[in-house]
């Protein structure tokens, strides 16, 4: 377990790891900023100051090359805004900013970036998902399907062929080019927050079941083609020590995530009980080096 040297009022949601520098980045729901430290919890820094570049409460983040992609949302429906910042890691400079400000409430939650500089974004308050084709500066609706409701986590296969949506219906697999849903989602594979494709399978943090025995960190086994979820395996049980884990990243064959985001102690505007705040801890879990799919 790695103790993270950040203020206890951070309330982190998104996490991303820079594999080149072994640096972990966390954003903050409360402070609307992004912080960083070494992967072992040393050298804490503020990467993005509060409200810098009009950043909002932090949600999904990912890193590709020297770019940090960071989503943010207003937390109240009457101040409905969403933003995506593209930040250069080496300098901290803003590369691009995208924003959505609709009359209808939307909640840009998580994102995945393809090898063709396509950015796919989920909206957990609707049936929509969005796409940005870099270097375009416009956000377009990628899918608007009742079969993919209120999607949260999203990830993409290593060959860029399939997108995996963690929706209220379960894991929904979409052929990226045709936008065709190729599987039959199952409710038993739902209530997922963060979702990652790694070595031919999916990994996800499940935190949405009222029965906590159903929550945990899971491996979702895919068939060889990557078009069907065959089974799930719980890797970690969420005990009392786990206070609403959300998203995670995979680096050097290990999964990293904050086990105690303490989001239940924050109502979107204020901390509910200052006495309950505690230092943040990041778990490191080694994954098997070789995962064989037998189809």
For 179, residues 6+ apart whose C-beta sits below 8 A from its C-beta are 142, 143
**Which three-class secondary structure state does DSSP give residue 161?**
coil
Predicted pLDDT of residue 288: 80
Separation between Cα atoms, residue 257 and residue 18, nearest integer Å: 14
Partners of residue 174 on adjacent β-strands: 163, 181
Predicted pLDDT of residue 102: 63
Please compute Rg for the chain using Cα positions.
Answer: 18
Predicted pLDDT of residue 3: 96
**Which three-class secondary structure state does DSSP give residue 109?**
strand
Is the preceding omega at residue 209 within 30 degrees of 0, hence cis? Answer: no
Q: Nearest to residue 49, comparing CAs of 68, 31, 73?
A: 31
Predicted pLDDT of residue 103: 56
Q: What is the dihedral angle through the alpha carbons of 267, 270, 272, 274, rounded to the nearest 10 degrees? A: 140
Return the number of other C-beta atoms located less than 10 Å from residue 51's C-beta: 11
Residues of the chain where predicted confidence (pLDDT) is lower than 70: 77, 101-103, 290-295
Q: What is the dihedral angle through the alpha carbons of 103, 53, 89, 64, rounded to the nearest 10 degrees? A: 10
Predicted pLDDT of residue 10: 97
Q: pLDDT tens for residues 103-117?
A: 577 789 999 999 999
On the 0-12 / 13-18 / 19+ scale of CB atoms within 10 A, 181 is middle
Separation between Cα atoms, residue 206 and residue 233, nearest integer Å: 12
Predicted pLDDT of residue 291: 46
Distances (CA, A) of 294 to 196, 206, 230: 20, 25, 11
- pTM, full prediction: 0.94
**Which three-class secondary structure state does DSSP give residue 100?**
strand
Q: pLDDT tens for residues 262-277?
A: 999 999 889 999 999 9
Separation between Cα atoms, residue 100 and residue 83, nearest integer Å: 6
């Amino acid at each position: 377990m790695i103790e993270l040297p950040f203020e206890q009022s951070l309330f982190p949601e998104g996490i991303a790891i820079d594999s080149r520098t072994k640096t972990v980045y966390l954003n903050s729901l409360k402070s609307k900023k992004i912080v960083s430290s070494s992967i072992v919890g040393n050298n804490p820094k503020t990467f993005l100051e509060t409200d810098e570049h009009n950043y909002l409460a932090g949600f999904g983040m990912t890193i590709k090359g020297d770019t940090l992609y960071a989503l943010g949302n207003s937390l109240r429906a009457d101040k409905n805004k969403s933003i995506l910042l593209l930040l250069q890691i080496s300098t901290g400079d803003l590369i691009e900013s995208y924003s959505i400000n609709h009359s209808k409430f939307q909640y840009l939650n998580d994102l995945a970036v393809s090898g063709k500089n396509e950015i796919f974004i989920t909206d957990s308050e609707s049936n929509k998902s969005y796409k940005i084709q870099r270097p375009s500066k416009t956000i377009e609706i990628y899918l608007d399907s009742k079969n993919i409701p209120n999607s949260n986590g999203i990830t993409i296969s290593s060959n860029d062929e399939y997108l995996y949506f963690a929706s209220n219906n379960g894991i929904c697999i979409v052929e990226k080019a045709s936008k065709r849903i190729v599987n039959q989602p199952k409710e038993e594979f739902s209530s997922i927050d963060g979702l990652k494709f790694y070595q031919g399978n999916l990994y996800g943090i499940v935190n949405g079941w009222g029965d906590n025995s159903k929550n945990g960190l899971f491996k979702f086994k895919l068939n060889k083609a990557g078009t069907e979820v065959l089974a799930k395996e719980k890797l970690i049980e969420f005990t009392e020590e786990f206070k609403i884990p959300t998203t995670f990243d995979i680096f050097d064959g290990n999964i990293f995530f904050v086990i105690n985001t303490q989001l239940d102690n924050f109502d979107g505007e204020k901390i509910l009980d200052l006495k309950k705040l505690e230092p943040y801890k990041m778990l490191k879990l080694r994954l098997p080096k070789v995962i064989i799919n037998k189809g």
